[in-house]
Amino acid sequence: RHRSSVTLEHGSKRLGKRTDPMMGVWRNYGLGQFIHWGLYAIPGGHWDGKYYSGAAEWIRSWNEMPKNAYDELYKVFDPKAYDPKAWAKQAKDMGAKYMIITTKHHDGFCLWPSQYTDYSVAKSPYNKDIIGPMVEAYDAEGIDVYLYFSVMDWNHPGYRSKLETKEDEEAYEGFKEFTRNQLLELLAFYPSTKGLWFDGTWDQAWIQQAAFADELEEEMRSVIPGLIIGSRFRADENGKRHFDTNGDLMGDYEQGWERKMPNRIEDVNGNDWDCVMTVPENQWGYHSDWKGHVKSSVELIEMMVKAASLDGNFVINFGPDGQGNIRPEESLIAKEVGEWMESNAEAVYDCGYLDWEKQDWGYYTRNRKTGNVNLVVFNYPASGKLRVKVPKGIKIQGIDLIGTNGGTIDLEEIHRDEYFLGLPKGTDHTKPVVLVMKIVEGD
Ligand code: FHN
């Protein structure tokens, strides 16, 4: 790729992927956990006996929810069941290699005791930092921590979505200073943070702050060298988000895959990316009464493998309740995904795209460290045989069923460069089946 003729002061800083070790670690995570937790977990999608059908973490914006009542919820925030070690253990057992926690969502409530606002855990009856012990617990499990931060802040008096008057502009200057202070505070409080996951950056007022955001991004990167920041933080000077005026990615990875996934490698333009996914259709924070389709662990495993097959990370969201309990549906997902990962993770961790013709039975992933090819079967063929077309010059050296099935595969050459792999009778395919193939290249 090359730059087109437009010169940008606040566009993309780099062409192509980052090549440093820290980004290499990020690229190989495969699976992450998102946690949306805040005051919205207290009403849990209900107010005054009425049901809110939107995303629970947006309840403050519902016209049945009096804003002042919402803004008083911090006075009852006292999550007695909060046990960060148990959360981290569960995430570890699920197979998550990184986690993202909402330090502050759109409502502005801070889960850390920020010195720049009174609207934080420090003023709640809980009166303790939530983030510190969480970072410590996840770090202890070897799970990298990323801090979610919403720039949009419904609580800060200086926040504006548009700057229409002189007064707006002045107020917004205060808000920008506050945002910078909070971000630097977070990095100072939690220096093991691996990256920031930004959100709430779509409003006009913020889009116009290209120079400020660019400078702030640099500043944050200088505080924690190697810090990972995706494409949602800043816009370029022409107001372009994610991709700058020249079409180049802003930030270290594409953050546009929310509750949706790419289908082909062309969709990701050679960039790193993550997909963040809800368990129900669209609930991030705790909603006590999920309606509509709720994803099964097998559906989520399929999305995770698909993400790996297209060079992306997959992140499953959890929304603990107002007391700090992880709901049973999510605990079950964590358990089932973890059981599958226990024996099949080598088809996900360290894995990426393989440029072989896509087959109907599922996905190929290639292990970047071993060079092995994984076949992850979601559509089990009635014949019990998998068709595999290899590019010219590739020889199959060995192939094994892994995981709970185990066993050897019957390899039948159909004609040059095309094979049937016969799976043993009785292979359990109630869960995705994984085959690992050793290949050699050359004639
Ligand atoms: O509005 C938020 C939403 O509540 C949630 O936090 C997601 C997570 O990616 N982000 C925003 C919508 O894009």
Q: What is the pLDDT of residues 74-106, one digit of tens each?
A: 999 999 999 999 999 999 999 999 999 999 999
79 C-alpha vs ligand 1 centroid, how far in Å? Answer: 23
Query: Is the predicted pLDDT of residue 18 greater than 80, yes or no?
Result: yes
Answer yes or no: is pLDDT of 404 > 80: no
C-alpha 260 – ligand 1 centre gap (Å): 13
Nearest residue to 304 via CA among 65, 103, 96, 74:
96
Domain boundaries defined on the chain: 21-351, 354-441
Q: Which residues 6+ apart lie within 8 Å of 164 measured at CB?
A: none
Burial of 426 (0-12, 13-18, 19+ CB in 10 A): exposed
Going from the Cα of 41 to the center of ligand 1, the distance in angstroms, rounded, reads: 15
- Bridge partners (DSSP) of residue 363 are 376
For domain 21-351, is the CATH number 3.20.20.80? yes
- Tell which CATH architecture fits domain 354-441: Sandwich (2.60)
Q: Is the pLDDT of residue 264 over 50?
A: yes
Quote the CA–CA distance of 73 and 87 in Å, as a whole number.
24
For ligand 1, atom 4, the nearest C-alpha belongs to 57
Ligand 1 midpoint to CA 385 (Å)? 42
Q: Which residues line ligand 1 (CB under 6 A)?
A: 55, 57-58, 199, 258, 276, 284
pLDDT digits (tens, 9 = 90+) for 275-322: 999 999 999 999 999 999 999 999 999 999 999 999 999 999 999 999
Atom of ligand 1 at shortest distance to CA of 105? Answer: 6
pLDDT at 1 (0 to 100): 47
**Among the listed residues 372, 380, 367, the one whose alpha carbon sits nearest the alpha carbon of residue 431:** 380
Specify the residue with its C-alpha closest to ligand 1, atom 9.
Answer: 258
Q: Is the pLDDT confidence value at 134 over 60?
A: yes
Q: How far is the CA of 249 from the centre of ligand 1 (A)?
A: 20
**Ligand 1 centroid from CA 199, angstroms:** 7
| 55 Cα nearest atom in ligand 1 | 4
CB 253 within 8 A of CB 231: yes
The residue contributing the CA closest to ligand 1 atom 5 is 284
- Cβ atoms < 10 Å from Cβ of 387: 15
Instruction: Examine the pLDDT at 406 and tell me if it is beyond 80.
Output: no
- Our separate counts of H helices and E strands in the chain read 9, 18
Q: Give the per-residue pLDDT at 141.
A: 98
Sign of CA dihedral 39, 41, 46, 49: negative
Query: Hey, whose CA ends up nearest to atom 1 of ligand 1?
Result: 200
β-pair type (410-415, 351-352): unpaired
The mean pLDDT value for 424-439 works out to 94
Report the alpha-carbon distance of residue 340 to residue 61 in Å, rounded: 39
> Which pLDDT tens digit goes with each residue over 324-360?
999 999 999 999 999 999 999 999 999 999 999 999 9
CA of 368 to the centre of ligand 1 (A): 31
**136-145 b/e (C-beta count within 10 Å ≥ 16 → b):** ebbbebebbb
Per-residue pLDDT averaged across 105-132, rounded? 98
**pLDDT, averaged across the chain:** 97
| Ligand 1 atom index nearest CA of 285 | 4
Q: What is the C-alpha to C-alpha distance for residues 75 and 330, in angstroms, rounded to an integer?
A: 27
Q: Across residues 399-425, what is the average pLDDT? A: 90
pLDDT of residue 341: 98
21-351 and 354-441, same CATH topology: no
Counting from 1 in the atom list of ligand 1, the atom nearest the Cα of 276 is 9
Residue 149 burial (10 A CB sphere; 0-12, 13-18, 19+): buried
Give the distance (Å) from ligand 1 centre to CA of residue 381. 38
Probe residue for ligand 1, chosen from 103, 253, 283, 284 as the CB with the greatest number of ligand atoms within 8 Å: 284
Pocket test for ligand 1, best of 36, 104, 106, 199 (most atoms within 8 A of CB): 199
Ligand 1 atom nearest to CA at 202: 13
pLDDT of residue 443: 61
Cβ within 8 Å of residue 287, ≥6 positions away: 44, 45, 52, 55, 56, 280, 319
> Could you tell me if the ipTM is greater than 0.85?
yes
Residue 2's pLDDT band (cuts 50, 70, 90): low
pLDDT digits (tens, 9 = 90+) for 182-224: 999 999 999 999 999 999 999 999 999 999 999 999 999 999 9
Exposed / middle / buried, residue 196 (Cβ in 10 Å: 0-12, 13-18, 19+): buried
